[in-house]
Amino acid sequence: QVQLVESGGGLVQAGGSLRLSCAASGIFFSINTMGWYRQAPGKQRELVARITSGGSSNYADSVKGRFTVSRDNAKNTVSLQMNSLKSEDTAVYYCNANAATFTRPSYMDYWGKGTLVTVSS
């Protein structure tokens, strides 16, 4: 199985920046896509950004030009640099990894427990 540990959440004023990080660990042999999702109160969890092992990334329309996702394959980490934050970015942010393990060789989704980002206006 894969364990994901997130860090970097907190309180920031609108227009400010924040950087989230996530580290994957466990007995696995391959991680394809890693990404970030968020869930605001009363809303469904939605994709924020994701990146493949080859470095291809995509973003939700609402964060394009403001957020940047990156990863370090050697360290099995993924980060999300969030700039020009808006109040509507307030949510719990979850790290996601699509990975194959020796026990379960088919690719499956694994999730972190989430980190809260609060943007004050």
Q: What is the mean pLDDT of residues 63-91?
A: 96
CA distance 88 to 72: 29
**28 confidence band (pLDDT: 50, 70, 90):** confident
Residue 32 is encoded by which pair of tokens?
């394809």
What's the average model confidence in pLDDT over 77-91? Answer: 98
What distance in Å separates the CA atoms of residue 91 and residue 98, rounded to the nearest whole number?
22
> What pLDDT shows up at residue 35?
97
Residue 17, pLDDT score: 98
The CA distance from 50 to 81, in Å, is 12
**Would you state the pLDDT for residue 30?**
87
| Rounded Cα distance, 65 and 26, in Å | 33
CB-count exposure of residue 121 (10 Å: 0-12, 13-18, 19+) = exposed
